[in-house]
Structure 1
Amino acid sequence: MLRDKFDWNIYSIRNIKAPTIDRYIDDTVKAIFIDESQRIRTDQLEMIIGKSKELKIPIVFSYDTKQYLSEGESKNIYEYIKTNYPEINIYKKSLTNKIRTNKNISSFITNLIQIGKSNSYLDYSDITIEYFENINDIKRYIHYLEKRDDWKCITYTSSQYSRESIDTLASLSDFKAHDVIGQEFKKVVFVMDDNFRYDDSGKLQYRKCYYSLPGMFYQIITRVINEMKIIVFNNKSLYYKLLQIKSLDKNNE
Structure 2
Amino acid sequence: MNKNIKPVNLHSICDLNFALKSNRINNDLVKKYEQYLGITLKDSEYNDIHNLINYLYSFNLPVKVDGIFLDYHIPAMSKEMDIIKISDNIILNIELKSKDKTLEERKNQLIQNRFYLSKTKYDNIFYFSYKSSDNSLYQLEDDSFTSTDQTPIKLIELLNKPNKDNVHIEDLLIPSDYLVSPFNDPQRFLDGEYLLTNSQKSKEVELTQILSTNNCVFLSGNPGTGKTLVLYDYAKKLISEGNSVYILHGGNLNDGHEYLKQHGLNIYPIFKLQEILSMNNDTNTYFMIDEVQRLNETQITEIRQTMNAKLIFAGDPNQVLNKNEFGTRLKEYAKENSIATVKLTNKVRSNQNLAEFIKGIMNSHYPVDKNYPINNKHISIEYFNNDDEALFYIDRLKKESSFKILVLPGSIRFQKDMYSIYNHLHENAYNVIGQEFDNVATLLGSNITYSDNGKLVSNGTYYDSGMALFQNITRTRLNLKLIIVNNPQLLERCINLLK
Shorter-chain TM-score range = 0.7 to 0.9
Report whether the alignment pairs 1:112 with 2:368: no
The equivalent residue for 2:332 is 79
Report whether the alignment pairs 1:16 with 2:266: no
The equivalent residue for 2:74 is none
Report the Cα distance in structure 1 between the residues aligned to 2:363 and 2:472, rounded to whole angstroms. Answer: 17
The equivalent residue for 1:43 is 298
| CA separation of 1:193 and 1:212: change in aligned 2, threshold 3 A | closer
Structure 1 residue 148: deviation in Å? 1.5
Report whether the alignment pairs 1:188 with 2:437: no
Structure 1 residue 191: deviation in Å? 2.0
Q: Aligned letter for 1:45?
A: I
Report the Cα distance in structure 2 between the residues aligned to 1:184 and 1:105, rounded to whole angstroms. Answer: 14
Report whether the alignment pairs 1:135 with 2:392: no
Most deviating of 100-109 and 176-185: 100-109
The equivalent residue for 1:28 is 284
| CA separation of 1:33 and 1:133: change in aligned 2, threshold 3 A | same
Q: CA RMSD in A?
A: 2.9
Q: Aligned letter for 2:335?
A: K
Greater strand fraction, Structure 1 or Structure 2: 2
Structure 1 residue 151: deviation in Å? 1.0
**Residue aligned with 2:434, SS:** coil
* Alignment match of 1:224 (pick from 448, 471, 476): 476
TM-score normalised over the length of structure 1: 0.79
Structure 1 residue 36: deviation in Å? 0.7
In 2, are the aligned partners of 1:78 and 1:90 still within 8 Å (CA)? no
In 1, are the aligned partners of 2:378 and 2:479 still within 8 Å (CA)? yes
Shift >4 Å, 4+ stretches: 168-171
Most deviating of 233-242 and 42-51: 42-51
Report the Cα distance in structure 1 between the residues aligned to 2:401 and 2:291, rounded to whole angstroms. Answer: 31
| CA separation of 1:198 and 1:169: change in aligned 2, threshold 3 A | farther
**Residue aligned with 2:462, SS:** coil
Report the Cα distance in structure 2 between the residues aligned to 1:118 and 1:49, rounded to whole angstroms. Answer: 43
Report the Cα distance in structure 2 between the residues aligned to 1:188 and 1:20, rounded to whole angstroms. Answer: 34
The equivalent residue for 1:251 is none
Structure 1 residue 23: deviation in Å? 2.4
Q: Aligned letter for 1:91?
A: T
In 2, are the aligned partners of 1:108 and 1:122 still within 8 Å (CA)? no
Report the Cα distance in structure 2 between the residues aligned to 1:218 and 1:80, rounded to whole angstroms. Answer: 24
Q: What are the ranges of 5 or more consecutive residues in structure 1 without an aligned counterpart?
A: 248-253
In 2, are the aligned partners of 1:166 and 1:195 still within 8 Å (CA)? no
* Alignment match of 1:91 (pick from 341, 345, 364): 341
The equivalent residue for 1:250 is none
Report the Cα distance in structure 1 between the residues aligned to 2:276 and 2:428, rounded to whole angstroms. Answer: 31
Structure 1 residue 128: deviation in Å? 0.6
C-alpha offsets along residues 98-127 of structure 1, whole Å, 9 cap, x if unaligned? 333433222221221013255153333201
Structure 1 residue 239: deviation in Å? 0.9
TM-score normalised over the length of structure 2: 0.43
**Residue aligned with 1:99, SS:** coil
In 2, are the aligned partners of 1:185 and 1:224 still within 8 Å (CA)? yes
How many correspondences in the alignment? 237
| CA separation of 1:77 and 1:234: change in aligned 2, threshold 3 A | closer
Structure 1 residue 179: deviation in Å? 1.2
C-alpha offsets along residues 192-239 of structure 1, whole Å, 9 cap, x if unaligned? 232112234432221131222233222212211111001222222221
Structure 1 residue 188: deviation in Å? 1.0
Report the Cα distance in structure 1 between the residues aligned to 2:299 and 2:389, rounded to whole angstroms. Answer: 46
1:110-189 equivalences in 2 (<5 Å):
110-115=359-364, 116-119=366-369, 120-124=371-375, 125-160=377-412, 161-168=414-421, 170=423, 173-189=425-441
In 1, are the aligned partners of 2:383 and 2:485 still within 8 Å (CA)? yes
**Residue aligned with 1:9, SS:** strand
In 2, are the aligned partners of 1:105 and 1:225 still within 8 Å (CA)? no
Most deviating of 7-16 and 198-207: 7-16
**Residue aligned with 2:279, SS:** helix
Report the Cα distance in structure 2 between the residues aligned to 1:175 and 1:234, rounded to whole angstroms. Answer: 21
**Residue aligned with 2:357, SS:** helix
Report the Cα distance in structure 2 between the residues aligned to 1:231 and 1:44, rounded to whole angstroms. Answer: 37
Q: Aligned letter for 1:90?
A: A
Q: Aligned letter for 2:290?
A: D
Please tell me whether Structure 1 or Structure 2 has the larger radius of gyration of its CA atoms. 2
**Residue aligned with 1:69, SS:** coil
Structure 1 residue 80: deviation in Å? 0.6
